[in-house]
Amino acid sequence: MSIAAAVLETLRAEAANHGGARVARAGLRIGELSGVAPESLRFCLETLVAGSDLDPLAFDFEICPWTRRCHACAAVFRVVEWNTACSACGSLDTEAAGGDQMELMYLELEEP
């Protein structure tokens, strides 16, 4: 819920920066390893938006997979079933490459 509140706080600040324009839509990028369940976040956002100054407001979600980069062959691969070994060459020497994103990508303002 506090993450949803942080999203809305940013949207309000951005709207104010654009002369108080109304925000119609916001795009969020959420990684599989971010600790946030997109559906829960959507629920919290919708709950906070309902009846507020931001209502109505639509959200787009982009879900980012959990990925690692292989030090041996440089492949970036998706981690499936918690398997952090490289899917291309099998090396165990890999590092985190993605999946912990929790970002606001964009917002759409209504033309006045």
Partner 1 sequence: MRVPLERKVLNENDRIAATLRERFKSHGVFCLNLISSPGSGKTSLLERTLEGFGPERRVAVLTGDIQTDNDARRLAHFGFPVRQITTGGACHLDARMVERALEGWPVEDLEILFLENVGNLVCPTSYDLGEEARAVLLSVTEGEDKPLKYPATFHHADLMVLNKIDLLPYVPFNAEVAKENARRVQPGIEILDVSCTTGEGLDRWRAWLDGHL
Torsion from C-alpha of 30, 33, 37, 41, nearest 10 degrees: -40
88 binds partner 1 (CB under 8 A): no
71 binds partner 1 (CB under 8 A): no
Cα–Cα distance between 99 and 80 in angstroms, integer?
A: 12
Is residue 104 helix, strand or coil?
strand
67 binds partner 1 (CB under 8 A): no
Candidates 20, 35, 56, 90: give the one binding partner 1 (CB under 8 A): 35
**Of the candidates 100, 108, 111, the residue with the CA atom closest to the CA atom of residue 24:** 108
48 binds partner 1 (CB under 8 A): no
Give the containing element (helix H, strand E) for 14: helix 2-17
Candidates 69, 72, 82, 86: give the one binding partner 1 (CB under 8 A): 82
- Judged by the rule CB under 8 A, the positions of this chain that interact with partner 1 are 2-3, 6-7, 9-10, 14, 18, 21, 28, 33-36, 66, 82-84, 92, 94, 96, 100, 102-109, 111
